[in-house]
Structures are given as structure tokens and as C-alpha cells.
Amino acid sequence: MIMMDLCSSRFYLPRLENKGEEYKQFQFGAGESHFQILSQTGRHAEIMFRYSGDQSIIQLLLLTDALKRQGAEEIDLYIPYFPGARQDRVCNPGEALSVKVYADLINRQNFNRVFIFDPHSDVTTALLNKVHVVKNHQLIEQAIEDIGEKVLLISPDAGSNKKIFELSMQLGGLEVIRADKVRDVSSGKIIDTEVYCNDLGGKTCVIVDDICSGGRTFMELAKKLKNKNCGRIILIVSHYEGVAKEADLHASGIDAVFSTNSLKDIASSDFLKIKDIWSFMPFMPNQGVSK
């Protein structure tokens, strides 16, 4: 008779605030990380990993190694923000292809499945083995429900068009307005933003993108949308670095931002509404409890 091993261990890295001691980690004086799991784990394990700088990657590798040494045969990795996803091509001579370096490291661990959330481009998906892409649809749907009005979807650049048209279909055919960044080809800097619509008719505009970093893309776009008679402007991004100043985003005309804590815990405010990334990842419900 074949016995099904339903016993599963789930580890959050970094640890969830309300979780007890499942593992010990510290750094030695020279800077190396140390990792120790504190009790026996199952054959199947899940790692819920939020990237928080390259040191956190080493911690992930150490946890993976520790799990394998305890007999874990199937390890699922949930890594909603995939590091290097935006560095998906070599733009200038001498640059590294960062996303491939991170993907190669992850592939070498032989994870059973790797779940990522709304990656910047298909390059990440192509490079990773056994990858499952979780789309941003549920996040956008929830945010639009919270907004509670009829909205226009704004695609901020050519790279977003494919994803946003699919999203629109999923949401029952919401109207999409395309925009584009105009760049100085020699420096790569954004010098202008085009919105392909003359009159937005006072409607609420929802800009959808994968990430907000410095926020320049969205501040420039918001100003242009204002000039084209938009109503409220809402920005929804899957990943939020927390680098852009909320005051600057607001001053540009953006009324609210929705995002997740895929990178770090950020407090929600009236302006910035952060949703829990784990609520969008497809867990097996019977595998929730550690050990």
C-alpha cells in the first residue's frame, strides 16, 4: 500500500511577526549567515520567501540546504518578487545579465515548484525551471472593488500592453488606454510620456504596472493624464520598493496607490493601500501548519 505523506512544513523567510521560533539565524563576525532549523521537518516543505537584498538569498540557500539535510524531498519555493527581473537584458557593454544569475542560482536548488508573482517580463519565466506565474488579476480586481467606481485601465508603456489586455479580458472587457515612455536613446532617461487618447472624459484612471521604484514613470504619466481630463488617478503595482516619496506621487496627481508587501512590510495609509502578498499565492490549504 502506498502511504501518502501529507506532512508538510512551511517556513516564512523573513519570519512572520506572529510566528514562533522555527529556526535560528544569525551572522558571524566576518559576515557569513548561519541557519538552523529547530525541529524535524516533513518530506514536503514550502518556503515563503520575500527577497530583501542579496543577503536574504544566502539565507534562502542555507534554509534549502538545511531542509534537504533533514530529508525534505519536495520543496516548493514561493518567491513573489523575483530579484533581477527588471535586469532582463544587457543594455550596455560590460553589464551583467542579472536575472539569469539569480535564476541559475534558484534552478540549481532543484525546487519542486517555483511560484513567482507578476514578473517584469517573460524573460524570468523563460529562465526558471518548474515555474508557476501568479498573475496580478486578483490584486487588481480587489483594488477596483475597493475603488468602487467604473474605471479605465491605463497601460504605462509598450511592455505592459500584452498583460493589460489580458487583464481587461479577465475583468469583463474594461477599456484600456495605452501610454508610452519617450526615452533619450543615448542615456535611457525618460524625456516625455505619450497618452494615446485626447479626452479621458473625467473618468477614474487606473494605472497598472509590475513595480513602482523611484516612481518617475507614474508621476510623469499622472501629469499627462491630468492634462487629458481624467478623473481620479489610482496606481496599482504588484511590487512596491518604498523608494518613491508618497508626497511626490500625490503631488503629481495620483490619488491613491495599491500594492503588496511582496518586498517588505509597509504600513497602509489613506494614500497607500498595502495588501498581503500571501493572500494571492496559491497554497495547498491542508499544508499550512509547520511541522
Ligand X SMILES: O=P(O)(O)OC[C@H]1O[C@@H](O)[C@H](O)[C@@H]1O
- With a CB cutoff of 8 Å and minimum separation 6, the contacts of 220 are 181, 190, 192, 193, 252
- With a CB cutoff of 8 Å and minimum separation 6, the contacts of 56 are 13, 14, 49, 50
Identity of the residue, 42 or 156, whose beta carbon is nearer to ligand X in the bound complex: 156
Indicate the helix (H) or strand (E) that contains 191.
Answer: strand 190-195
CB of 97 to ligand X, least distance (A): 15
Identity of the residue, 59 or 124, whose beta carbon is nearer to ligand X in the bound complex: 124
The residue nearest ligand X at its CB is 217
CB of 288 to ligand X, least distance (A): 32
Identity of the residue, 76 or 210, whose beta carbon is nearer to ligand X in the bound complex: 210
CB of 135 to ligand X, least distance (A): 15
Identity of the residue, 187 or 198, whose beta carbon is nearer to ligand X in the bound complex: 187
Identity of the residue, 124 or 290, whose beta carbon is nearer to ligand X in the bound complex: 124
Spatial distance between the Cα atoms of 139 and 281, rounded to a whole number of angstroms: 11
8 A C-beta contact, residue 41 and residue 66: no
CB of 58 to ligand X, least distance (A): 26
8 A C-beta contact, residue 180 and residue 157: yes
8 A C-beta contact, residue 141 and residue 153: no
DSSP state of 278: G
Cis peptide upstream of residue 14 (ω within 30 degrees of 0): yes
Identity of the residue, 76 or 220, whose beta carbon is nearer to ligand X in the bound complex: 220
Residues that bind ligand X (CB under 6 A): 86, 120, 156-157, 209-217, 244
Spatial distance between the Cα atoms of 249 and 237, rounded to a whole number of angstroms: 13
CB of 157 to ligand X, least distance (A): 6
CB of 233 to ligand X, least distance (A): 15
Spatial distance between the Cα atoms of 48 and 77, rounded to a whole number of angstroms: 6
- Smallest CA-to-CA distance from 131 within 116, 153, 142, 120 is with 116
CB of 147 to ligand X, least distance (A): 21
Spatial distance between the Cα atoms of 40 and 152, rounded to a whole number of angstroms: 51
Identity of the residue, 53 or 214, whose beta carbon is nearer to ligand X in the bound complex: 214
